[in-house]
Amino acid sequence: MIGRLIAFSARNRLLVLLATLMLTGIGIWSLINTPLDALPDLSDTQVIVYTEYPGQAPQVVEDQVTYPLATALLAVPHAKVVRGFSNFAVSFVYVVFDDGTDLYWARSRVLEYLNFAAKRLPDGVTPTLGPDASGVGWVYEYVVLGAQRTLAELRSIQDWLVRYQLITAKGVAEVASVGGFERQYQVIVDPQKLQAFGIPLDKISDAIRASNQDVGGRTIELTETEYMIRGRGYLRGTDDLGAVVLKASPTGTPVLLHDVARIQLGPDERRGIAEMNGDGEVVGGIALKRDGADALNTIGNIKTKLEQLKPGLPDGVHVTPVYDRSELIGRAIHTLTRTLIEESLIVAAVCVLFLLHARSALVAILTLPIGVLIAFAGMHALGIGSNIMSLGGIAIALGAMVDAAIVMIENAHKHVERLKPGEPRGAALIAAATEVGPSLFFSLLVIVVSFLPVFALEDQEGRLFKPLAYTKTFAMAGGALLSVTLVPVLMLLFVRGRIIPEHRNPINRVLIWLYRPVIGAVLKAPVLTVLLAALALAATAWPVSRLGSEFMPALNEGTLLYMPVTLPGLSVTKAAELLQTQDRIIKSFPEVESVFGKAGRANTATDPAPVEMTETVINLKSESEWPAGMTIEKLQAEMDQALRLPGVSNAWTMPIKARIDMLATGIRTPVGVKVFGPDLHELERLATDVERVVHGIPGTTSAFAERLEGGHYIEIT
């Protein structure tokens, strides 16, 4: 069958070339439209249920919100893990689904169960779903700066101007604000005046609510014109608030709100702050990529929106990026693309050197890019993006892809050598291709089949390695197809002119001269050869036993993430002071480009961090600007030593790696110990003991036990 296919291709050269051009066009289109990212998205399908319960302590939130929601969501179909976190005034419930579950199907199922669970919650508490973003969706972070603007003004610009513009960018799921002050109208009542006028406290909120509304009436017709009736009642400032009528005195004099309260415009309570370069607090924003969106295109859309927004910003206000994943994507793809080009050039050079016939070498060289484009067509069809793993699969396949063409060409050269002078070569070339074509085709398919076990991997392992297996399979399958269709046609076109016999190639002669004594020696002593091979295999046992294990190799993202924690109960003011001190120390290192620190959480369901947890993004300069001998490991160690502050436990990672670790384990490090039990006090004691023991394990850089207790309360009984 393969022989007939080779003969058919040789007879229909134009048809084969047209089909190849069509495949090449499809491959180029797929290459242009394939999503780009640094790593495949390793996150599980996850739905976040976010609930606010203003003013309530964590234990109250746990008992009245988190526990009822978590127990109700345990029954959601295909949910494998339900995690609940209770912080001051907010609850987070993470529902993690089985591998392969569609995100929007999962969100609809969670909504169905929330309809039932919401009935068990306190009045006025409404759970909401988090954004349809993956756990590694934080692709772009920025700060809004203005020299003559207060933090409250900058936060208003971020919330009401910048955020709404960026949320319209294609691929963006949410834009979260962090830092600064959210302005609000504050009514500070005087209890003695309330008592004197006989006004209950709930009357204040009822009166404000009733006075802050527009109402509509019917229409009337006057002088052939229709007029719509409306009552204007929205409150537009502190003066309007002060004029709200609470009651009338016995003499008919109205009691107004400003008679019993002080009204002011002030900041809302803060649960998150942002700081930059140790220079003081700033207002920041975080853009989250929608699940499945192209990260590079999404970031490009965000930058386009920011450029369009520039003319509309107030004077002196500008937006500065502090984390841009497109830089990492660009570096990773550029490095791998350069490696692929270098590998292709080496393969081409080897073909020319061993064949000593440039036109024959073109047969093998031309099949390489076409095979790669076929792989990209398969990637696009299955929705696989270009990243380190998928392009790595193509890099692995390049050598084997060209091997079939080289063997077929060498066999063709042998057949041509045996021809008489002037005898036509066409039949000999087809015979040469038919002779080895079937074996080459099936040998490539055997390599494809060898990767089938990779497709059986599940969860994070599958999401990490399947792109590599798919692209290698597509490339090898494309190479196998080309070896029995395009290669015979190209041989008929390019294998012309004088063919140098193999024994006259100086490189081949040297290699054969070296090879023959070796093969002769091992054949004369087969037992000794097998024993030496067995000893070599046994000698690897000790070094293999000393090797460590890691889920995936460390990726130098070019950006560090510093994540220290302190004990619970840290005030926002002290957190801001500590954050500024840490950022100033980090910025003093000459290798650092910029520092953006966040203490507490941003206004997004994807960030459950308490005030005592800090996340500092450290953008590094190019390594060419670093002092001689400096490495990222050494830099991290020096920073860690400089940042050893009392009561602070340091942790170092990188942004993408941190998100992957938190998704996999529910904590911020790749290794953790979970302690279960009914007594919170005993759990904390045991966790502290574990922390002390783990600190002494070789290789541990930091260990910290999450404190379940330790918050400070003023209790009224």
What are the C-alpha distances in Å from 566 to residues 508, 550, 710? Answer: 68, 29, 11
Q: Exposed (0-12), middle (13-18) or buried (19+): which is 40, by Cβ within 10 Å?
A: buried
What are the C-alpha distances in Å from 214 to residues 209, 237, 415? Answer: 11, 15, 94
Contact 65, 117 (CB under 8 A): no
pLDDT at residue 303, as a whole number: 93
**Of 599, 701, 652, the residue nearest 178 (C-alpha):** 599
φ, ψ for residue 256 (rounded to 5)? -95, 165
DSSP string, 319-332: EEEEEEHHHHHHHH
User: E strand or H helix at 14, and its extent?
Assistant: helix 13-33
Q: Which residues of 46-59 are buried (b: 16+ CB within 10 A; e: fewer)?
A: bbbbbbbbeebbbe
Beta-carbon contacts of 635 under 8 Å, excluding residues fewer than 6 positions away, are: 589, 591, 620, 626
In the chain, what are the domain boundaries? 2-33+357-499, 184-267, 559-662, 673-717
Contact 173, 291 (CB under 8 A): yes
Strand partners, 466: none
- Amino acid at residue number 31: L
Contact 600, 609 (CB under 8 A): yes
Helices (H), 606-671: 632-642, 655-665
pLDDT at residue 665, as a whole number: 63
**Of 139, 138, 143, 37, the residue nearest 594 (C-alpha):** 143
DSSP string, 565-610: B--TT--HHHHHHHHHHHHHHHHTSTTEEEEEEEEE--SSTT----
pLDDT at residue 553, as a whole number: 67
CA distance 259 to 204: 12
CA distance 291 to 511: 54
User: E strand or H helix at 532, and its extent?
Assistant: helix 526-539
Strand partners, 282: 274
Contact 199, 246 (CB under 8 A): yes
**Residue 82, Cα to own-chain centre: how many angstroms?**
22
Beta-carbon contacts of 128 under 8 Å, excluding residues fewer than 6 positions away, are: 49, 50, 51, 605
Question: Right CATH number for 559-662 from 3.30.70.1430, 3.40.50.620, 3.40.50.1980, 3.40.50.1100?
Answer: 3.30.70.1430
* Domains 2-33+357-499 and 184-267 belong to one CATH topology: no
CA distance 238 to 244: 10
**Of 404, 409, 410, the residue nearest 442 (C-alpha):** 404
- Amino acid at residue number 373: L
SS3 79: strand
Beta-carbon contacts of 600 under 8 Å, excluding residues fewer than 6 positions away, are: 178, 270, 271, 272, 273, 572, 575, 609, 610, 611, 613
| Torsion of Cα atoms, 309 then 314 then 320 then 324, to 10° | -30
Which CATH fold would you assign to the domain 184-267? Answer: 3.30.2090
Beta-carbon contacts of 252 under 8 Å, excluding residues fewer than 6 positions away, are: none
φ, ψ for residue 201 (rounded to 5)? -65, -40
- Please calculate the CA angle 399-403-405 and round it to the nearest 5 degrees: 130
CA distance 290 to 173: 5
Beta-carbon contacts of 185 under 8 Å, excluding residues fewer than 6 positions away, are: 235, 238, 241, 263, 264, 265
Report residue 464 as tokens.
């990490």
CA distance 598 to 578: 11
Please state which CATH class domain 2-33+357-499 belongs to: mainly alpha
Question: What residue ranges of the chain have pLDDT lower than 50?
Answer: none
